[in-house]
Structure 1
C-alpha cells in the first residue's frame, strides 16, 4: 500500500484529464496525441416543446371532429324525427329493410330466377295471412287456414308456367273458400243473416284474388322468355314511383290528393311519381328490355296508374277497417302488404304489356 504511487491518481473532486470537458494535453501525457481520440457521440436532443405542440394540435383536431360528428348526428336525428312525425315512419329502419328486401329480390332475378319462386311464395302467404287477420279484426268471417291452403295451391300452380293452370286453380280456390265458409256458418248457427254470410264469401274470394292470384301473375311472367327482366322492370318502376312520390311529397307536398282516403298523399307527390316512373320506364325499356323508347313510356304510365290505384285502394281498405297498417312485422314499413299494395296490381299490366310490346324488341 505504501509502495503505490499516489501522484498518478486524481485528487478527489478533480476530474481526470479527458473527463467532463477537461481536454487531453500532450504536455500532460508525453507521446500521446489527443487528436486521435474519437469524439464522444452526441445523443439527439428531443424538442419536447415541439412535440407537445403537435400533440395539442391533434387533440384539438380530434375534438373538432368529434364535435362535428356529434352535431351531424343530432341534426340527422332531428330530421328523422320530423319525418317520422309527418309520415309516421322511421326513415332509417325503412331504408335498411327496403334495401335488404330489394337486394334479395334483385339477386334472385339476376342469377337464378327460380329463387324468385320461394320469395314470391313466402310473400304471398304472409300477405294473405296479414289481410285475413286484418279482416277478421274488422268483423269479417275469414277462415285463415283455408285461405293459406288455397293460396298455396294458386301460387304453386303459377310455377308451372301455364296460364290456363293458374286460372283454373284460382276458380277452384275461390270455390273452396266459398264452400268452406258456408259450411262453417251452418255448423256455427249463430244467427248471422244471409247478407252477412254472402258478404263473408265475397270478402274471402277477394283475399284470394288480391294477394295469391296477383302474386301468381308475377310468377307467370317470370317463366316467359326474358320474363325475369320484365319482373325486375315493373317492380323497379313501381318502387321508383312510390319512392319519388314520397320524396316529392315530403319536400313540396302542399295540396292533398285524396284527403278522405289518404290524407298524406299530395298532388306534388303524384307529380314526382309520374316523373320517376316514366324516366325509369324509358331507361329500363331501352337498356334492359331492348324495346323502343316509347314502349318505356307506355310501361311506366301503366305501372304508375296501377300502383297508384293499388296504393289508394289499400288505404281505403285500412280506413274502412280502422287500422293504420296491416301489421307491425316490418319496422318502418308496417306490414308486408303495406309494401306490396302498389306492386301487386301492377302485375296485370306488366303481363299484358309483355305480350303486346315484345314484338317491338330491338334486335
Structure 2
C-alpha cells in the first residue's frame, strides 16, 4: 500500500504584477467598449438601457457580497428603483432624479418592514448606501447624455460627445495608472487597502488624465483647454478614490472580486468603481462650463 501523500493542489496561474489575465482582460474590454460605442452611435436610448442593465447586475453583485456579512439587500425595489432613476435622469433631468432617489429610498425602507425588527437598521442602512453608490451615481450618465436632447437619433450631439469624453478620460486614468504601476511601481499608496496601487501608478494616471482631458474637451467639445485640464485632474482624483473605496468594501466583506461575470476583470462593479466616482464631477464641469 502506497504511503505517498496526495498530490498538492495545482498552483494558481501567475498573471504577473498586474494580478490579472491580461489577454482575457483586453478581450473583455474590447467587447464592452464596442457595445458602448455601438449603442451611442446608433441610438442613445439603447445606451441608457445598457446603463440600466449594468445597475441591475451591480445590485446583484453587491447583494452577493454583502451576504458575507449577513446583510441582506432587498433586490427587487433596488432593481426597479435603480432602473427608474437612470431613465428619469435621462428624460427629465436632475430634479426628477432627486425625486426618484428619495421615493426609492422610502420604498426600500418600507419593503424591509416586512422582514420584521431583527436586522432592520443594518439592512436599511446598507440598502440606502447601495442606492446612492450605484443607481444614483450611475444616473449621472443619463444627465450627461441628455445634454444633447433625448430624441436619441442625433449621433454626435453634445451628450454623446460628453459621454465619450467621460469614458475615455476615465479609461486613460486606469490605463496610465496600470502601465506606470506595472513598469515603475515601488511605493505603495495604500498598502493596507490596495497593495498593488502605487504612487508611481498615480503619477501615470495624472499625466494620462490631464493629457486626455485637455485633448478631448478641446477637440470634441470645443471647450476651453483649462476645462479639459480640470476634467483630467478631477478624474484622476475621483477615479483613485473610487478604486480605493471599492477595495475597502471588498476587504471588509472578505472577498477578492464581486463576481466573475467579466473574464479577466472579475465582477462588473470591479470595473465600474472608477466610472461611478468620476461621472458626477465630469457632468458638473461640462454642464456649467462647456455646454
TM-score, structure 1 normalization: 0.72
Superposition deviation, residue 109 in structure 1: 2.3
Superposition deviation, residue 138 in structure 1: 2.4
Match of 1:315 among 247, 250, 263: 247
1:124 corresponds to: 55
1:243 corresponds to: 175
Superposition deviation, residue 280 in structure 1: 0.4
Match of 2:160 among 206, 228, 238: 228
Structure 1 runs of 4+ aligned residues shifted over 3 Å read none
Confirm or deny: 8 A CA contact 1:132 1:207 kept in the other structure: no
Confirm or deny: 8 A CA contact 2:108 2:124 kept in the other structure: yes
Q: Could you say what secondary structure the match of 1:160 adopts?
A: helix
Superposition deviation, residue 94 in structure 1: 0.2
Alignment of 1:67-106 (within 5 A): 84-106=15-37
Greater Cα radius of gyration, structure 1 or 2:
1
Confirm or deny: 8 A CA contact 2:18 2:178 kept in the other structure: no
Q: Could you say what secondary structure the match of 2:274 adopts?
A: coil
Match of 1:198 among 101, 121, 127: 121
1:303 corresponds to: 235
Alignment of 1:43-58 (within 5 A): none
Q: Deviations over 1:128-174 (max 9, x none)?
A: 11112211232212122232122222223223232211110000001
1:253 aligns with 2:176: no
Q: For residues 262 and 31 of structure 2, what CA distance do their matches in structure 1 show?
A: 12
Q: Deviations over 1:286-330 (max 9, x none)?
A: 110111111110011111111111110000000000001000111
Greater relative contact order (Cα < 8 A, sep 6+): 2
Superposition deviation, residue 339 in structure 1: 0.3
2:285 corresponds to: 353
1:27 corresponds to: none
* Structure 1 vs Structure 2 CA RMSD: 1.5
Q: Could you say what secondary structure the match of 1:159 adopts?
A: helix
Q: For residues 86 and 38 of structure 2, what CA distance do their matches in structure 1 show?
A: 21
1:268 corresponds to: 200
Alignment of 1:134-283 (within 5 A): 134-186=65-117, 192=118, 196-225=119-148, 226-283=158-215
1:335 corresponds to: 267
